[in-house]
Chain A
Amino acid sequence: MNAAVERVHGSEPLLEVIDLRTVFRTERGPVPAVDGVSFTLQAGRTLGVVGESGSGKTVLSRSIMGLLPRANVVRTGQVLFEGRDLVTADADELSHIWGAEMGMVFQDPMTSLNPVVRIGRQITESLRHHLHMDKDEARNTAITLLASVGIPEPERRLRQYPFELSGGLRQRVMIAIALACGPKLLLADEPTTALDVTVQAQILDLLQEQQRDRFMAMILVTHDLGVVANRADEIAVMYAGKIVEKAPTRTLFTEMRMPYTEALMRSIPKLEDPSHTVLQAIDGRPPDLAALPPGCRFAARCPYVQEKCLTQEPPLRPADSPGHWFACWFPVGTPEGQAALRRNKEAGSRAAEAAMEAATLTRRSA
């Protein structure tokens, strides 16, 4: 429904995800890891997807690529990549898209590279397969690629194995492989989480630079709002399998409407705060996806929670600023939200406690 509204603005998006749903069949019943996600991405733009562990952000990126196992996974909805639906695409079609038009960079560069194959062959493989280059041409292209991602002595690296490189260099190799065939879309799933801060900054700079040079769209998935704050054009915040707020980056930071986004921001220790500042932690934890409560999924942890939140699930609806969507009955920074917060404070957050209790009960019975 939201996708239909969104399709109106922006011409011919590169990627259009419509009501995507990925359900894992488990012994405990169906687990909707991605539950009705819709968004569009224009060529050359960056979408940041932010969420905690278990929010469904990684499953979302894999669902878009079609990288999930077929057994016990049900994927519905549409993923339109330049108009082609990837959900219904067969293996043959996908193999022409993977690597050639869509690249992916994973979190752990050690386990994503083949440990017994030299770096050179891991890069030239896709060049020869997709672009039909001959051996020498592919080798020369690989050297140029390695140099462009800032790897010193590229010719020597081609003959090395992944274990001979540091984590940062391995991640650069992963990026070189993902960029080899000049994809139109790069999915980067926590590309810097396993790296040190100094190396993280180098890798994020590199991704940004490559993206600009190649006019490539990027989906940057991370748990760290700091990583996307200066790198994404738009940010989608995920919670328990759903997008709960989506906005252009500046709008999200200045006009956030969803209490979860606000809580997430507040729980981050900030360098400019004096030491021993008491952090505003979010109590509790995300709901069990196999036994979801009715109503809003964040209700049990939300300081704004009201009766309505426990029974009716808020839809994703537009805010005042263009491109800003949120899912909340009592949004942050609005009169209703303020009133809800005040009521909860006056009631000694009785509603919140009731919600907590309800959540605990569901957890125990699960």
Chain B
Amino acid sequence: MAGSGTAHLRGDEALLRVEDMVVEFPASGGRRVHAVSGVSFDILPGETLGVVGESGCGKSTTGRAIMQIPRPRSGSVHFDGIELTSLKPEELRRVRQRLQMIFQDPISSLNPRRRVREIVGEPLAIWDREKGEEREKKVREVLEAVGLDYDAAAERRPHEFSGGQCQRISIARALMLDPKLIICDEAVSALDVSVQAQILNLLEDTKHRYGLTLMFIAHDLAVVKNISDRVIVMYLGKLCEVAAPDELFAAPAHPYTAALMASIPVPDPTRGTRKEGGHLEGELPSPTDPPSGCRFRTRCPRATQVCADEEPEMRQVSGDHYVACHHPLQPLVPRQEAAADA
């Protein structure tokens, strides 16, 4: 998309509904970095939403803006019946119990001087919940749920654990306050493939066990496809495409999605390097001065004049598949029908 629009939003039952969210940062010379420019999406309870895109596409900023760190410049973030953008800091703190985050670097996101027992128990200490034996019981239960042995782990410090185990500790900490939504920001990107598979399986199990909703931000398409129920593709602060993963990967409608997929190295020597898909030329334009119209047009093989003049809107491809592109790779549902459908 580099486009806007809200055609892809679903009903009121969503746990999280982000509408037209804009995040900007000041840059030198009075300019602004347009990190996220009018992004809308929603997540239903129990769903895993995958967010993919290259570095600089605004996917992490989107995740953080939902947490209100920093608060978005405009737009709305509606979570579990509450509008977060207008909350006072104290109210926001309360809501964040139900809204947790897991970060990319598992080792640096844990305090190296604390013991695992303290790290995982801290959320309870902050909220003055479950004290003494109760607290130990809860820490034990959650640590075992993420596959760590309480007796072996509780008194140790983060440096004594591998990256995968530290990520398990981070997950345990995020689970302590019984959250509804967990935002995983590149939670498996720093791990080896063998460990990455363990953590992905763990996230999937934990989600079912604790009835969680996940927002899973990653640059690896295969990982996102594996874990998600619905995927949004971002480019330079805008949404390109929204679809269920199987549909998205079988029939990408946005040229950017197709190019991303063609770039993935496949562990299969008989498949070649898939040159026919066309590796993307050039690099991401500067977010301080994004291209007019469709933001992807400067690297898009299908771009025409209309892409420079007009920003594409989200439009329906089929069922739950939406794309913001003037020249999509799949036929769109005509506007009237889409309207009637809705």
Instruction: State the A residues within 8 Å of B (CB).
Output: 52-53, 166, 168-169, 196-202, 204-205, 223-227, 229-231, 249-250, 253, 263-265, 267-271, 273-283, 285
A198→B201 contact, CB < 8 A: no
Complex-state Cα separation, A226 to B261, whole angstroms:
13
A268→B226 contact, CB < 8 A: no
- Closest chain B residue to A301, Cβ basis: B194
Instruction: Apart from A198-B280, A201-B262, A274-B246, list 12 A-B contacts with CB within 8 A.
Output: A199-B54, A200-B265, A201-B279, A202-B280, A223-B193, A229-B265, A229-B266, A229-B271, A267-B194, A268-B222, A269-B200, A283-B198
A226→B226 contact, CB < 8 A: no
Contact partners of A282 in chain B: CB under 8 A: 194, 197-198
Complex-state Cα separation, A277 to B249, whole angstroms:
15
Smallest CB–CB gap between A345 and chain B, Å? Answer: 20
B259→A281 contact, CB < 8 A: no
Instruction: State the B residues within 8 Å of A (CB).
Output: 54-55, 162-164, 192-198, 200-201, 204, 219-223, 225-229, 244-246, 249, 259-273, 279-281, 283-284
Smallest CB–CB gap between A156 and chain B, Å? Answer: 16
B263 touches which of A169, A197, A279 (Cβ 8 Å): A197
Complex-state Cα separation, A285 to B166, whole angstroms:
13
Kindly count the residue-residue contacts between A and B in the assembled complex, taking CB atoms under 8 Å apart: 139
- Closest chain B residue to A270, Cβ basis: B222
A197-B260, A201-B263 known; A281+B194 contact, CB < 8 A: yes
B219→A199 contact, CB < 8 A: no
Smallest CB–CB gap between B27 and chain A, Å? Answer: 16
A285 touches which of B54, B164, B223, B273 (Cβ 8 Å): B164
A196-B55, A269-B197, A281-B194 known; A249+B269 contact, CB < 8 A: yes
8 shortest A-B CB distances, which residue pairs?
A226-B265, A281-B197, A279-B197, A282-B194, A201-B263, A267-B197, A281-B198, A275-B245
Complex-state Cα separation, A199 to B279, whole angstroms:
9
Complex-state Cα separation, A257 to B243, whole angstroms:
39
Contact partners of A200 in chain B: CB under 8 A: 263, 265
Complex-state Cα separation, A233 to B264, whole angstroms:
19
B193 touches which of A197, A268, A276, A283 (Cβ 8 Å): A268
Smallest CB–CB gap between A306 and chain B, Å? Answer: 21
B245→A225 contact, CB < 8 A: no
Complex-state Cα separation, A278 to B266, whole angstroms:
19
Contact partners of A223 in chain B: CB under 8 A: 192-193
Complex-state Cα separation, A224 to B279, whole angstroms:
19
Contact partners of B273 in chain A: CB under 8 A: 201, 204-205, 230-231
B279→A229 contact, CB < 8 A: no
Smallest CB–CB gap between A205 and chain B, Å? Answer: 6
Contact partners of A230 in chain B: CB under 8 A: 265-266, 269, 271-273
Complex-state Cα separation, A176 to B225, whole angstroms:
36
Contact partners of B193 in chain A: CB under 8 A: 52, 223-224, 264, 267-268
A52→B269 contact, CB < 8 A: no
A sample of 15 inter-chain contacts (CB < 8 A) reads A197-B221, A197-B263, A198-B279, A201-B263, A202-B279, A204-B265, A204-B273, A226-B267, A229-B266, A229-B269, A230-B266, A253-B268, A267-B193, A271-B261, A285-B164
